Amino acid sequence: MKKLLSIVLVAVMVLALGCTAFADGTEITYWSMWNEGEPQATVIAEAAEAYEAETGVHVNIEWKGRDINTLLSAALESGEDFDLFDDDYTRIGQVYAPYTYDLTEMAEAAGYEGYACFNNQAIAWAGYLNSLPEQPNVGGVFYDKAAFETAGIEAAPATWAEFLDACAKLKDAGIDPLAQDDAYCNFTFYYHLVRYLGEDGIAELRENGGWADNEKAVQAVQDLIDLVNAGYLAEGAPDAYPSSQNKIGLGLAAMVVCADYVTAEVNANTGTEVDWGMFNYPTVEGGASADAYMGANSLAIPSYSEHAQEAFDFALFLTTGEWGQKLADDCHQIPADPTNECTSLPGAVETLLAAEKPMSWCGELNTHPAWQTMRDMFVEMFEGKYESGAEFCAAMDALYE
Amino acid sequence: MKKNRTLIFLFMAPTVICLLLMYVYPVLRTVAMSFFRVESVTADMGLWRFNGVDNYVKIFHNSGFIISLRNFLAIWIVGGVITLALSLLIAVILTSKIRFQGFFRAAIYLPNVISAVALATMWVQYIFNYDYGLLNQLVTFLGFDKVRWLGTDAKLWAMIAAFIYGSIGYYMLIYISGIEGIPTDLYEAATIDGASKGKQFFRITLPLLKGIIKTTITFWTINAATFYLWSKLFSPVQTEGSTIVPVIYLYDTVFGGKGVVERDAGAGAAVGVVLTLIIIAVYIVTDKLLKSSDLEY
């Protein structure tokens, strides 16, 4: 018995020594917004192994999932021990900014350029570069190229008139033109409103009301009501997410207004590989803006991290070059490194590079006290419950009383 | 035996300390926070700015919170009446010596064993689906037009129906345990006296289950007030007015939502306080209406 106990104790000591030796090497802790088993997580885990083999720095990954935003504030405020995290870049730029590392010097030293639209926005919010995009997103109209070919549409529509023309051709070809899920009704509505008023114009309406007196607002809503009345929405739309967008994968609908992740979602949900195309949301005559929605899940480093350089190096290792390409290919996403190729959505990188100011996700309306009622009204409008733009805008004004 | 006060104190201390730290302190902090402008839920108290009842004014002027209260009332009252009445009815039937009792008990309780995520997915993606859903197949078979079960008008009721389906088994078991505790000789005596099954239910079963009914109402109120998962699953991308409930509103207020970075832990705390007051009020009213009697099972 004593011998057995001695052997166990020796084994424990050897293990402890081994662990101590391991701890002597540098280790960084990465709080990830992905869940183990997701394509992104698989690539990240492989990249971490490759990074360790190359540099000797061990990356300890903790998979926190999408609810990481409920943990980060408290963790950063209390100085919790981690060196790298990812989340929506709007939150990193605005909410976590006081606790994030200034990456400017390290980025310059590494020759990092990235996308100007995200870098400029991050600097505008935080006062310095505090995040590196890991999964850039771009909004617009995503379509099935095969459906366009069947309908004889040769060029992607650039204006609202061309868009309606494309809808008519698709309908004639027996394909429902536009998929629309309830979850994204606010996004489509906002996009169209931005075309007429720009985000500054929407901000003014948000503050002071006067929707019914604003001809452009009335016209924007009327356009959408006409779209619904013309029967250009997919059958059953606005449907419960993701039923309507899935119809593109099933060959029943042709287009959807969303961000680029819709392509991977539809492919995964329907088990198909749609040949996706994308174009910027159509412009309108006398409109105020042609901006596109842009967002990103980005990587950032806590300001108090003792291994900021190692964390930055790993972030760069993951998002650029070989691993950045693998991340884009395996996860069907836009590459975080603009020098890489976007295999899932040709043209997306160029769109992001050309953009200066990203459009927000309903940012000028979603903090209004009556936002929930507005959101329901947008869905109701797509359900056909409003006769005219004037009626809808009058109902919007009533929310200000 | 002489009381050893030190020993009593020592035995009680761990529990009392845990209770103070993990229950009383968070409750007091939340109540205090509801009167301050606080951005982050873990912000240092030095950063709190007193703003009186502004947080309460803010939430009661926000359409999201008002709609969430309305939805909560619908879930609590309509869902509660249907769930508790059906559970009681099924419990009475299953304790009346029918055949295959065990099978029916298991079958009705089964949804409680299945994950709520799987259940909600089944309802949203299969039963309520517009194109190939079970209900619309039935509707078209009967010669009617398809119905948008998850449209803005119907989504709340669709969610409540699904939630009721998932809840009945739990309350049924509670009622069954209560009914089985009632002595059978009461029913035998009533049968000899010529009382019908209906009279036996209203004169014996129901009065003797008063305590159990009070408990289930309290349980249902807590379930309705903390209703979260089903709402999230019926609106997976972002919060919708048709399915928003107070806890979802609280979550969005404290942590922000899709495209929303604004956070207000003070207003979130005010929502928590209002919810707690609602539950306390319901308990007091229930307690007054259903007075305890000496004979209960």
Comparing CB atoms, the residue among B42, B43, B240 nearest residue A182 is: B240
Pair (A224, A207) in one structural domain: yes
Does residue A39 lie within any of the structural domains? yes
Query: In the predicted model, is pLDDT for residue B289 greater than 90?
Result: no
Contacts of B235 in chain A (CB under 8 A): 183
Cβ-defined contact of B125 to A236 (cutoff 8 Å): no
Q: Which residues of B touch A361 (CB under 8 A)?
A: 258-259
For chain B, domains (ranges, CATH) are: 53-289 (1.10.3720.10)
Which chain A residues have a beta carbon less than 8 Å from that of B128?
240
In this structure, are A266 and A146 located in the same domain? Answer: yes
| Structure tokens, A67 | 């609810």
Instruction: Answer yes or no: are the C-beta atoms of A148 and A254 closer than 8 Å.
Output: yes
Domain edge (last residue) among A322, A337, A354: A354
Is residue A157 assigned to a domain? yes
One domain, residues A76 and A153: no
Q: Is the pTM of this model over 0.90?
A: no
B260 contacts in A (CB within 8 Å)? 366-367
**Does a structural domain hold residue A14?**
no
Q: Answer yes or no: is A306 within a domain.
A: yes
Distance CA B131, CA A191 (A): 28
Residues A242 and A374 in one domain: yes
Contact flag B150-A182 (C-beta cutoff 8 Å): yes
Does pLDDT of B1 surpass 70?
Answer: no
Q: Is the dihedral of CA B265, B233, B85, B206 positive or negative?
A: negative
Looking at the fold, whether A176 and A161 belong to one and the same domain comes out as yes
CB nearest A376 (choices: B130, B236, B241): B241
* pLDDT-derived band at B41, boundaries 50, 70, 90: confident
The answer to whether residue A10 sits within a structural domain is no
Q: What is the tens place of the pLDDT at every residue in B251-267? A: 999 988 777 888 899 99
Which tokens is A276 given?
Answer: 């996706």
Per-window interface: A 40-79 vs B, CB < 8 A: 69-70, 73-74, 77-78
Residue A125 shares a structural domain with residue A142: no
Q: Would you state the pLDDT for residue B92?
A: 93
Cβ within 8 Å of residue A150, ≥6 positions away: A173, A175
Q: Are A281 and A196 in contact (CB under 8 A)?
A: no
| Residues in chain B closer than 8 A to A241 (CB atoms) | 236-237
Please list every residue in chain A whose beta carbon sits closer than 8 Å to the beta carbon of residue B244. Answer: 372
A259 inside domain: yes
Task: Please check whether residues A309 and A331 belong to one and the same domain.
Answer: yes
Residue A238 domain-assigned (yes or no): yes
Check if B211 contacts A (Cβ < 8 Å): no
Cβ-defined contact of A379 to B152 (cutoff 8 Å):
yes
Domains of chain A: total: 2
Judged on CB neighbours under 10 Å (0-12, 13-18, 19+), B280 is: exposed
Residue A149: give the domain boundaries.
Answer: 138-293+359-398
Residue B183, judged by CB atoms within 10 A of its CB (0-12, 13-18, 19+), counts as exposed
* Rounded Cα–Cα distance for residues B99 and B83 (Å): 24
Q: What does chain B come to in residues?
A: 297
d(Cα A369, Cα A209) in Å, to the nearest integer?
13
Q: Any idea which residue has 């078209």 for tokens?
A: B140
- Evaluated on CA atoms B236, B239, B242, B248, the torsion sign reads positive
User: Among A241, A243, A399, whose Cβ lies nearest the Cβ of B237?
Assistant: A241
- Nearest CB to A95: which of B41, B130, B261? B261
B261/A94 CB distance under 8 A:
yes
* Per-position DSSP letters for chain B, written without gaps between them: ----HHHHHHHHHHHHHHHIIIIIHHHHHHHHHTTEE-SSTT--GGG-EE-TTHHHHHHHT-HHHHHHHHHHHIIIIIIHHHHHHHHHHHHHHHTS--TTHHHHHHHHHHHHHS-HHHHHHIIIIIIS-TTT-HHHHHHHHTTPPP--TTSTTTHHHHHHHHHHHHHHHHHHHHHHHHHHTS-HHHHHHHHHTT--HHHHIIIIIHHHTHHHHHHHHHHHHHHHHT--HHHHHHS-SS--TTT--HHHHHHHHHH--TT-----HHHHHHHHHHHHHHHHHHHHHHHHHS---S---
Instruction: Mark whether A132 and A154 lie in a shared domain.
Output: no
In this structure, the answer to whether residues A164 and A113 fall within a common structural domain is no
Q: Dump pLDDT digits (tens) for B92-144.
A: 999 988 888 889 999 999 998 999 899 999 999 899 999 999 999 999 999 99
Q: What is the ipTM, given to two decimal places?
A: 0.83
Query: Which residues partner with A142 through β-bridges?
Result: A256, A278
pLDDT the model gives residue A21:
42
Q: Is A182 close to B255, i.e. CB distance below 8 A? A: no
SS3 content of chain A, % helix, strand, coil (to 5): 50, 15, 35
* Domain co-membership, A380 together with A276: yes
Distance from CA of A218 to the nearest CA of B (A): 23
List the CATH number of the domain containing A210.
3.40.190.10
CB A313, CB A331: distance < 8 Å: no
Same domain? For A221 and A284 the reply is yes
Residue-level pLDDT, tens digit, chain A, 401 residues? 566 666 666 565 555 545 444 445 799 999 999 999 888 999 999 999 999 999 999 999 999 998 898 899 889 988 999 999 999 999 999 999 999 999 999 999 999 999 999 999 999 999 999 999 999 999 999 999 999 999 999 999 999 999 999 999 999 999 999 999 999 999 999 999 999 999 999 999 999 999 999 999 999 999 999 999 999 999 999 999 999 999 999 999 999 999 999 998 999 899 999 999 999 999 999 888 888 999 999 999 999 999 999 999 999 999 999 999 999 999 989 999 999 999 888 878 888 887 767 899 898 898 899 999 999 999 999 999 999 999 999 999 999 88
Q: Are A145 and A246 in a shared domain?
A: yes
Distance from CA of B224 to the nearest CA of A (A): 20
* Domain-located, residue A323: yes
CA distance A42 to A231: 43
